[in-house]
Structure 1
Amino acid sequence: MSIPNEALQKVLQEIGQKKAFAEQQLSIVKQQKAVNYRESRMLQLTASEVESLPKDTKVYEGVGKMFVCTPIPDVQKRLVAESEKLKVDVANLDKKEDYLEKTYTNSKNSLEQVLGRAGGA
């Protein structure tokens, strides 16, 4: 059973578009993960610096164009909260990356399969 040329071209185009989209989204996800890892590392470094400060040290946080004196425990709470949010974001990006990799692989395999049939016919 052979596939008409028009139908074959349409199938190839759809699979090719799906593969290209998955590849593009995969690249975006990897960039987002890199940004999140960098932010996570900055939070870790900041937390370790704040931890090493004496308890009576005045700590200032940037708010817009000004700095506000903030107690060390409040700064530590904020750092922990931001770190937890980043962990959740990275976990979600990992899931999205797995899905996109599977989609890309399936599209690639489908293309090879369709081209193999077309070449063998």
Structure 2
Amino acid sequence: MSMPNEQLQKFLQEIGQKKAFAEQQLAIVRQQKVAKTREARILQLTSSEVESLPSETKVYEGVGKMFICTPIPDVQNRLTSESEQLKADLANLAKKEDYLEKTYQNSKDNLEKIIRSAGGA
């Protein structure tokens, strides 16, 4: 089964573009995962510091250019909800990374298969 040259070139170009796009998106997702992991670690450290404070300690949160006195339980609730959101984001990024890795590998395999079959023909 051989394809005309023009059709083969078009097919190779489409697969190559798909592979390049998947590779580019994979790099972006990996950077996002690193940033989210760093954020999660900062939240964890902040939470452990807030938990170690005596209950009568005044805690301030930044709002714009000012700071507002906030009760410790409110701060802990905010940190917990942000942490849960980051975990969900990381899970979604892991799924996206897995999908992109499969897309990249499939494109790469298809290109190699076509090149081998064209070279052997």
Settle same-fold status: TM greater than 0.5: yes
Counterpart Cα distance in 1 of 2:101 and 2:17? 15
Q: Normalising by structure 2, what TM-score?
A: 0.99
Give, in whole Å, the separation in 2 of the partners of 1:82 and 1:116. 50
Number of positions where the alignment pairs a residue of Structure 1 with one of Structure 2: 121
Aligned to 1:78: 78
Match of 2:5 in 1: 5
Say if 2:113 is the partner of 1:113: yes
TM (normalized to structure 1)?
Answer: 0.99
Counterpart position of 1:48: 48
Q: Which residue of 1 aligns with 2:103?
A: 103
Runs of 4+ displaced beyond 6 Å: none
Structure 1, unmatched stretches of 5+, are none
Partner deviation per Cα, 1:20-61 (whole Å, 9 max, x = no partner): 000000000000000000000000000000011010000000
Question: Gaps spanning 5+ residues in structure 2: where?
Answer: none
Task: State the alpha-carbon separation in 1 of the partners of residues 5 and 117 from structure 2.
Answer: 12
- Cα deviation, 1:48-79, whole Å, max 9, x if unaligned, reads 00011010000000001100000000000000
Identity in percent: 75
- CA–CA separation in structure 1 for the residues paired with 2:66 and 2:110: 56
Q: Does 1:90 align with 2:90?
A: yes
- Supply the AA of the counterpart residue of 1:41: R
